[in-house]
Structure formats: structure tokens, C-alpha cells
């Protein structure tokens, strides 16, 4: 499958640090993919570039074994050097046009959004070749992984669902080929609240601690996917 096809089918996106204290990065990412995680992003601000590139080789190998995607956070240069299929940027990071200069038109690029206006802009940026490929909405709830970032609540999840045509079946948010732009809810999502997120219209989620702090990452991933299904029904 192509990267775009894998993105369209993706439902569970995991962000993890390098797991330096546990020393189990390779085993962890392999277990997460085995449990059903579709995309894993290495997000660790404490890494030097050489360290990050080494870990990305491990992540790439695991992703290839499972036929899944892997992602780089913020750094288009690291994404280019590592051959990452996915780059995720924030509102204050490298602009989309600049990221495309590094990565070309084939790479998947995603963007964080925190307001209705940013969602509208993300949808508008998806409507041309080389545009945005997906966006994230959040943080739905406050989370220590984003200190100081105010929670946006479920109302913004509902807004994203409506803006992309998820709840209406309309052509709102449709890209150049017709389908709605993929998007993920993010921020404080875990097994205890994921059904509420799904009921608000999210078909895809990003998690951190719900899997990184689990004793059994594969089982945690499977439980999250089951709850996501339950909340959507």
C-alpha cells in the first residue's frame, strides 16, 4: 500500500519518547505495531540529531515488518535524512511550503490545530497537489506532554467532524480527489474517555501515555481500538 493509503486507513497514532530509562525502544515499538498501532512518531526533544537518526532506523525496521507508517516530529531535515514517510509539524514550526521543499510531494505531512480557524486553514491547505495530508485536533484534555497548552474540549472535535463532512455526509473538507481530509483527535485520550471522543465524531486518535505507560503495549492498543469502535456505534 502507498503511504497515502496507509494514512487513510490509519486509526491509532502513537507518539513516544526514546524510552531511554527503560532501554526497550525496539521491543516497545514492535509490540505497539503488533497491537494495531498504525503510525508511530518518535517525539523526544532531548535527543541529539545522531541519536534520533539511529532510533529512527529501528523504528523504520519495525514499521516495515508490520506494513505501517512512522513519523518524525517537527524536523524536516531529520525527516529527509531518515527517509521518513510522515512529518508532523506544529503551528509555529516549519511552514508547509518549506517542508515540501525538503521532502517533495510524496511525503505525508500533518499539522496540529487548536481552534476552528486553524482547522479551516488546514482543510484549505489540503486542496491542491503537495498540500496538507492530515491534521490533529487538540489537546482535547489537558496533558503533561503539552504543558501550558489549554484544553480545547470535545466541541472542537465536533467542529472538525462537521468541517470535514464526517457528520453530514457533505463534501465539506473534500480534497482534490474527493475524500475528506483525514484528522486525528489528540490530547489526554485514554481507555477511560476514548468512547466519548469517538461519539463526538473522531474516527482516528493520537495517544501517548495510554500506551507508553502500559505494561502490555499491544494489549493497550487493542483495547483502545475496540473502545474507538464502541464509541462510534
Answer for the pair 5, 67: CB distance below 8 angstroms, yes or no. Answer: no
Q: What is the pTM of this model?
A: 0.93
- Cis, bond preceding 105 (omega within 30 deg of 0): no
Nearest residue to 159 via CA among 177, 178, 185: 185
Answer for the pair 137, 156: CB distance below 8 angstroms, yes or no. Answer: yes
| pLDDT tens series, the chain, 233 aa | 899 999 999 999 999 999 999 999 999 999 999 999 999 999 999 999 999 999 999 999 999 999 999 999 999 999 999 999 999 999 998 889 899 988 988 899 999 999 999 999 999 999 777 799 999 999 999 887 777 778 999 999 999 999 998 643 333 444 333 458 999 999 999 999 999 999 999 999 999 999 999 999 999 999 999 999 999 88
Handedness of CA 8, 11, 12, 13 (dihedral sign): positive
Amino acid at each position: 500500500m502507498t503511504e497515502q493509503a496507509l494514512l487513510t486507513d490509519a486509526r491509532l497514532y502513537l507518539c513516544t519518547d526514546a524510552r531511554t530509562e527503560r532501554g526497550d525502544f525496539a521491543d516497545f515499538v514492535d509490540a505497539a505495531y503488533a497491537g494495531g498501532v498504525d503510525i508511530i512518531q518518535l517525539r523526544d526533544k532531548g535527543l541529539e540529531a545522531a541519536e534520533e537518526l539511529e532510533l529512527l532506523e529501528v523504528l523504520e525496521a519495525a514499521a516495515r515488518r508490520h506494513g505501517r507508517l512512522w513519523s518524525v516530529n517537527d524536523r524536516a531535515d531529520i525527516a529527509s535524512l531518515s527517509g521518513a514517510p510522515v512529518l508532523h509539524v506544529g503551528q509555529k514550526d516549519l511552514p508547509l511550503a518549506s517542508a515540501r521543499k525538503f521532502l517533495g510531494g510524496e511525503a505525508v505531512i500533518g499539522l496540529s490545530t487548536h481552534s476552528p480557524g486553524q482547522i479551516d486553514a488546514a482543510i484549505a491547505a489540503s486542496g491542491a497537489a503537495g498540500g496538507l495530508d492530515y491534521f490533529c485536533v487538540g489537546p482535547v484534555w489537558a496533558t503533561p506532554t503539552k504543558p501550558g497548552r489549554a484544553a480545547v474540549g470535545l466541541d472542537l472535535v465536533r467542529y472538525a467532524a462537521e468541517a470535514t463532512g464526517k457528520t453530514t455526509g457533505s463534501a465539506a473538507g473534500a480534497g482534490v480527489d474527493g475524500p475528506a481530509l483525514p484528522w486525528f483527535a489528540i490530547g489526554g485520550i485514554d481507555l477511560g474517555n476514548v468512547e466519548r471522543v469517538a461519539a463526538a465524531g473522531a474516527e482516528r486518535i493520537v495517544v501517548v501515555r495510554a500506551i507508553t505507560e502500559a505494561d502490555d503495549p499491544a494489549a493497550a492498543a487493542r483495547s483502545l481500538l475496540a473502545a474507538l469502535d464502541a464509541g462510534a456505534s
